[in-house]
A = this chain, B = another copy of it.
């Protein structure tokens, strides 16, 4: 008999993770949870220019992908950010031996952008 861990369930399907990250609204939701964890649907909706139904649909995809974990509290549903799938993406294509080079490039990039700030989505 094998024991099935909750973590295995959280990060089951990689395709769901990448599909979930492909939408800017869903990335904004992750950003919001990164700043303040455990928000409800209504709280998250108030920060976006979208209907509640749209936000709900996006949160559903994030939850299916394991990027967001939820906990019910009375009639409210709290949403929490789960960093594990993101870390797995990193580990997939970043070689441990070349990770130093990547870090060095990013440091250089930050150095250059300090003089020339650039707008991002």
User: What is the predominant secondary structure among interface residues of chain A facing chain B?
Assistant: helix
Q: Is residue A54 contacting chain B, with contact meaning CB distance below 8 A? A: no
Beyond A84-B102, A86-B90, A86-B94, whether A109 also contacts B8 by CB under 8 A is yes
- Give the number of chain A interface residues (Cβ < 8 Å): 48
Within 8 A of B (CB), among A48-104: 81, 83-84, 86-95, 98-99, 102-103
Copies assembled = 2
Q: Which of B83, B98, B109 contacts A102 (CB 8 A)?
A: B83
Q: Check if B112 sits within 8 Å of A34, measured CB to CB.
A: no
Q: Which of B3, B21, B34 contacts A21 (CB 8 A)?
A: B21
Q: Which residues of chain B have C-beta atoms less than 8 A from A24's C-beta?
A: 15
Known interface pairs A5-B108, A87-B94, A87-B102; 8 further A-B residue pairs with C-beta atoms within 8 A, sorted by A's residue number:
A2-B116, A7-B112, A13-B121, A18-B27, A83-B95, A83-B98, A84-B109, A91-B106
- 11 A/B residue pairs, CB under 8 Å, sorted by A: A2-B115, A5-B112, A7-B109, A7-B112, A8-B112, A11-B109, A14-B121, A21-B89, A34-B95, A88-B106, A89-B90
